[in-house]
Chain A
Amino acid sequence: MEKFTKIQGVAAPMPLVNIDTDMIIPKVFLKSIQRTGFGKNLFDEMRYNRDGTEIEDFVLNKPQYRNAEILIAGDNFGCGSSREHAPWAIADFGIKCIVSTSFADIFFNNSFKNGILPIVLPQEQVDILMADAEKGENARMTVDLEAQEITTSDGDVIKFDVDPFKKHCLLNGLDDIGLTLEKADSIKTFEAKAAQERPWV
């Protein structure tokens, strides 16, 4: 996995609440058996007309947000299905960090596994960042994972929380499976005990 340490980039505002995984990547694109190439279809139905032309006023189609690396979103971002295609599409597009007041549980977990940092902040702080994002291209924000700080284009600093284990994995680009296999003995011990206690499983 790619490491996430610090990014400085454009943030795109998406104030809509309940942005679901069908909006992020409609199911017609779930048929691939690869992990890459989903970025061009991120937010497909909001982003393109049926004939494939772009819908001009969709935020990521506006010139100032085409290279956005940060998304400031409304409540309950990523609700819906467990499809990891959603964070794959987001990462493939180039977005590395999403800020909202809340995220759906599975989406939240999936993001970390794909080098994306989802940040939960209270409404007032999301509002500040949303207003900053509205300013467009020149308003570059900085997200510093090590320091757990977002710096707005005006230099205001907003602190955020992150699970220490997830932070460690993101900072170092660590693969979960490798880490877990280091605990193979614990798993074996558990299995032996469970086989005694619940042999029917």
Chain B
Amino acid sequence: MSPKTLYDKIWDAHVAHEAEDGTCLLYIDRHLVHEVTSPQAFEGLRMAGRKVHAPEKTIAVPDHNVPTTLDRAKGIENEESRIQVEALDKNAKEFGVHYYPVDDVRQGIVHIVGPEQGWTLPGMTVVCGDSHTATHGAFGALAHGIGTSEVEHVLATQTLIQKKSKNMKVEITGKLKPGVTAKDITLAVIGETGTAGGTGYVIEYCGEAIRDLSMEGRMTVCNMAIEGGARAGLIAPDETTFEYVKGRPHAPKGAQWEAALNWWKTLYTDEGAHFDKVITLKAEDIQPVVTWGTSPEDVLPITGVVPHPEDFTGGKVEAARRSIEYMGLTPGQKLTDIEIDTVFIGSCTNGRIEDLRAVADVVRGKKIKEGLRAMIVPGSGLVRAQAEEEGLAEIFEAAGFEWRLAGCSMCLAMNPDQLAPGERCAATSNRNFEGRQGYKGRTHLVSPAMAAAAALTGKLTDVRELM
């Protein structure tokens, strides 16, 4: 048999039907659902008199619209947001899928809840009507975002019409330097490839620096595969993965665990397997990075300066000009001279316990810059509970952070957590698009440690100087 990549293996194990032209029906093991992209899909089922094909493989949780303030039990003030969440409550019940409502301690961002509850397992196919489904690739699961028509298709048939993508390898050799994190890796890769560099590919991340990452860090890396344009990002499962999965509520137990483990251990890229594109970065070369513009590819080391539009070529010249103007920056300005108004720590990129520990390590015993707005939004109710148990919440509150309930929050600002026009934010989320965090709001993407450093100084800051 010819050698296969990890992607080839998972793909082959899930093809339910293949047409002559190569169009496949890919079987879906887990379907995650949230309130924004699903109402029209459930409505479609209802209108066609269809039911959910496999409700036991479908997991729903509201996250995008939910308030994250402590008084959210009062209900959702914005009427349209409330209607969406209520629609999910109703659809989950009517169609009999697994559900974590707003008042359940396990509620949180769908991509944090799935792994936390053991729904996401190695070798699975996982989809969700959300582009950051790529996160689950950290387990060696083939995971990607789909549109609402496809949500309806998966609900009705438990399959997706797909053509196979190409294979791309991103290898990070060697070891990371202190102060450099998974977030810097994933941003550095996008800086290297551009936001369209992965289009048409499934990326497998590998190399020593990736192996050395915890599951939390691996999820951060895979989360942003989509910002690099890839359909999905994957990391081969290993002991770190098995250790994380073991004992989770929906992970296999007993004899099934052993059987699963046997199969999971075969999930790696065979020696000599073909990749259509290969990118290699040295971990030592990666520095703490920030974005200066309005595309995730606008990445520079924190030691850099705002570029000139003329540094670019083609359509990017105009895009860079527009970005710099939108961001209110001056070419040549040092990145560390950029003052910020707000710090947002959270999201499916960086809302896990390890991210919060990294923040606590920087701000312990210190105070954030006076007048700055800084919020920490844990990725799930369980992350919040654990942070409280570990004493992190006290550190945050003493430093002056707002300590919130779980949700997407200011990552996309569909709930009341928004930037005002012109307000500048250091954010641990994944998108710095125009208006992403609020109309005319300005976003600089950073790691949790860098966000914490910025909160202390009120400027974009090289966290290594505070270490």
Q: Tell me the A residues contacting B by CB distance below 8 Å.
A: 15-18, 20, 22-23, 26-28, 30-35, 45, 50, 74-76, 79-84, 87, 102-106, 109-110, 113-114, 163-165, 176-177, 179-181, 183-184, 186-187, 189-191, 194, 197-201
Contact = CB atoms under 8 A, between A and B. Distances in A.
A30 B36 contact: yes
A113 B150 contact: yes
Given A30-B414, A199-B259, A201-B57, 14 more contacts: A16-B318, A23-B434, A33-B83, A79-B196, A82-B130, A82-B131, A82-B146, A83-B36, A84-B129, A176-B153, A180-B153, A187-B25, A187-B27, A191-B158
14 contacts: A15-B315, A18-B196, A18-B319, A22-B434, A84-B37, A105-B230, A180-B157, A180-B159, A180-B161, A181-B157, A186-B16, A200-B252, A200-B256, A200-B257
A164 to B, nearest CB: 5
Counting chain B CB atoms within 10 Å of each CB, the highest count among A33, A83, A164 belongs to A33
A79 B230 CA distance: 11
B121 A201 contact: yes
Contact of A34 (B40, B263, B316): B40
Contacts of B25: 180, 183, 186-187
A84 B148 contact: yes
Contacts of B148: 35, 84, 110
Interface string B237-262: 00000000000000010001101100
A82 B147 contact: yes
B308 interface: no
B40 A35 contact: yes
B17 A183 contact: yes
A102 B196 contact: yes
Contacts of A177: 48, 50, 152-153, 156-157
B124 interface: yes
A32 B78 CA distance: 12
Contacts of A23: 433-435
Contacts of B150: 109-110, 113
Contacts of A26: 435, 439
Given A31-B65, A75-B315, A82-B129, A165 B199 contact: no
A22 B436 contact: yes
A187 B231 contact: no
Nearest to B87: A33
Nearest to A163: B163
A75 B196 contact: yes
A102 B199 CA distance: 8
A45 B199 CA distance: 27
A34 B42 CA distance: 11
A186 B257 CA distance: 28
B434 A110 contact: no
B322 interface: yes
Contact of B200 (A32, A105, A165, A200): A105
B149 A84 contact: yes
Nearest to A29: B80
A114 B145 CA distance: 17
A142 to B, nearest CB: 26
Contact of A22 (B65, B153, B161, B435): B435
Contacts of B462: none
B87 A186 contact: no
Interface in B414-439: 414, 431, 433-436, 439
B431 A76 contact: no
B29 interface: yes
A27 B433 CA distance: 12
Contacts of B84: 31, 33
B206 interface: no
A82 B230 CA distance: 13
Contacts of B256: 199-200
A83 B124 CA distance: 23
Contacts of B144: 106
Contacts of A32: 80
Contacts of A83: 36-37, 147
A177 B41 CA distance: 12
A104 B152 CA distance: 21
Interface string B164-183: 00000000000000000000
Contacts of A28: 414
B156 A181 contact: yes
B201 to A, nearest CB: 9
Closest A-B pairs by Cβ, 5 of them: A31-B80, A200-B252, A110-B147, A33-B39, A17-B315
Contact of A176 (B161, B412, B413, B435): B161
B157 A187 contact: yes
Interface in B320-352: 322
Nearest to A81: B131
Nearest to B148: A84
Nearest to B48: A177
Contacts of A33: 39-40, 43, 83-84, 87
Interface string B132-151: 01000000000011111110
A16 B161 contact: no
A155 B316 CA distance: 31
A164 B145 CA distance: 23
A16 B148 CA distance: 26
Contacts of B319: 16-18, 74
A187 B17 contact: yes
Contact of B131 (A27, A106, A194): A106
B435 A106 contact: no
Contacts of A184: 157
A164 B17 CA distance: 17
A103 B314 CA distance: 17
